[in-house]
Amino acid sequence: MKMRTARSTPLFASLLFVCACVPPSHVMRPQAPPALRYSTEPLALETRGAGTELPQRVALGERLDRAWWELFRSGALNDVVQRALEHNPTIAEAAHTLAQAEELALARAGTRSPQVGVTGGVGRQKLGVQLVGDVPQVPFTYFAVGPTVSYSLDYAGRNASAIEQQYALADFRRHQLQAAWLAVSGHAVTEALKIASARMQIAAVESLLGQDRENLRLVREAFAAGAVSRLDVVSAESQLAADTALAPPLRQELAVATHALTLLLGQAPAMQTLPEFDLTQIALPQRLPVSLPSELAHARPDILSAEAELHAAAAALGVARANLYPRIDLSAAFSFQSTTLGSLFGGGGNGWSVVGGVVAPLLDGGTLRAEQRAAADAVLASEARYRQVVLTAFSQVADALHALEHDGEALDALGHAERAARETLELTRTSYREGNTGVLQVLDAQRRYQQARLAQLRARAQRYLDTSQLFLALGGNGPAGPVSSPVSVSAAPPPASATSAGVPTAPPNR
């Protein structure tokens, strides 16, 4: 026994030396590109309003403290977003995918503990003469049952890195769920605003058609009295036909937006149960909380997903590095053995074994080194992808801010144009009734007013849409997860080594 211990000492010393030489896996948490503002141009802290609308003010450095769609102060809008979050199939799919990833992480985390099992067997055997000599042998039946224990020494960090990778992938799925929640809420608000905008434009077109019919009636009466020519009647009829053609495209936009919103609610178009959205009953948010660029990287789900992917790639690199070192497996077994089932647990039939095994790579044709280099390249690719996602987020916020500024300017100009066109139309109609102006001048003035009115309505709706796009570009805000999620999405805590790659696992509710 002493001889065996003395011989094993160099082996264990060598293993300790190898353990000390294993390089740690370390990748610093990615840093967002340094930026103190979203654009080189001065940020307009206040955008101009138009008409009776109040101006919008940007509160730089603030974050949303409520569900972002509630800033529109519309009960109908709040209700439809809640329904979408509860019943949308995309959110359900993302929630189940997250649950799967969490279970896989828990399954991988179980490899840290010794694996305990039980084995049992029954068989019939006859020993050969080469083993027992010339003693006559007869076949015999044997029974065996007992526990087994196995454990893999993770001195190189192979299991720890694999566990860390699974938790990073679970984080990725968690942020994908948040991204689905944000996308569904954003699409629901967008489609609701499109419905309200289409209804408002259809109402404006119907009002214009009423004016066209009244003009046609007056021109026909004047023609019957001999006061105007047939050309005036034809011109009035042509104007009515042209304006009538404006309604079908708007109704098609209304139908498409309605069907899209119904789909978000997890319903078929024939099952739609939507409220009557009215843009005049949806308040335009006047105070716009805008987080700083340094905070944006910790708010948007797509950025957090890219960070989790980088974390997973770094952990995979740790696995590839650990594969270059020997693998040490320990196992032990104890069993009750007997040739008769009745005496299986009796004394004298006990057996046991303790086994230690080492598997070390020697010649593999360069496979393990190539896999390590490939994993390192994957880390660099993930880091570049992360930077691109962050830069794209900055660009989207800058676009939305400038869009709101330009929306205010456009509404201001279109408001003046609409008022001027309306006054011109009223004066032209008065002049026509007094016989000083022909019907063609009236129709031209009405056409100009129609164009100015519809342009103003579209610009007003676009201002609502750009406001919602700003909130989405900032990452939104609201419940930590989808309302009434079909599965539990609570994540188990990561193992103690889950930050060995230097990229901390993001908390479940960022």
- State both tokens at 53: 């609308």
CATH architecture of 25-131+157-326+367-473: Up-down Bundle (1.20)
196 alpha-carbon distance from chain centroid: 27
Q: Average per-residue pLDDT in the chain?
A: 81
Indicate if the pLDDT at residue 5 is higher than 60. Answer: no
Helices within 22-88 (DSSP H only): 75-87
| Choice between 136 and 219, residue whose per-residue pLDDT is larger | 219
Compute how many other C-beta atoms are within 10 angstroms of the C-beta atom of residue 197: 23
Percentage of the residues of the chain whose pLDDT score is greater than 90: 40
Alpha-carbon span 412 to 113, nearest angstrom: 69
Indicate if the pLDDT at residue 212 is higher than 90. Answer: no
Indicate if the pLDDT at residue 447 is higher than 90. Answer: no
For 130, counting Cβ atoms within 10 Å of its Cβ (0-12 exposed, 13-18 middle, 19+ buried), the class is exposed
Alpha-carbon span 20 to 9, nearest angstrom: 17
Q: Write out the E strands in 292-345.
A: 327-338
- pLDDT digit string, tens, across residues 398-440: 999 999 988 888 888 998 999 999 999 899 888 888 878 877 7
Q: What is the pTM for the complete model shown?
A: 0.79
Helices within 225-246 (DSSP H only): 230-244
210 alpha-carbon distance from chain centroid: 47
For CA atoms 190, 196, 202, 208, give the dihedral sign.
negative
| Contact in structure between 106 and 497 (CB atoms under 8 Å) | no
- pLDDT digit string, tens, across residues 354-370: 888 888 888 888 999 99
* Secondary structure class of 284 (helix, strand, coil): coil
Q: Of the candidates 108, 162, 167, 172, which has an alpha carbon nearest to the alpha carbon of residue 321?
A: 162
Indicate if the pLDDT at residue 501 is higher than 60. Answer: no
Going by C-beta distance under 8 Å and a sequence separation of 6 or more, which residues neighbour residue 3? none
347 confidence band (pLDDT: 50, 70, 90): low
Enumerate the domain spans of the chain: 25-131+157-326+367-473
| Contact in structure between 488 and 102 (CB atoms under 8 Å) | no
Q: Which strand (E) or helix (H) includes residue 122?
A: strand 115-125
The pLDDT value given to residue 306: 93
The pLDDT value given to residue 299: 85
- Rounded to 5 degrees, φ, ψ at 145 are -155, 140
Please report, as a single letter, which amino acid is at residue 432: Y
Alpha-carbon span 276 to 278, nearest angstrom: 6
The pLDDT value given to residue 399: 92
Indicate if the pLDDT at residue 170 is higher than 90. Answer: yes
Q: Of the candidates 247, 237, 249, which has an alpha carbon nearest to the alpha carbon of residue 212?
A: 237
- pLDDT digit string, tens, across residues 257-283: 999 999 999 988 888 788 889 998 999
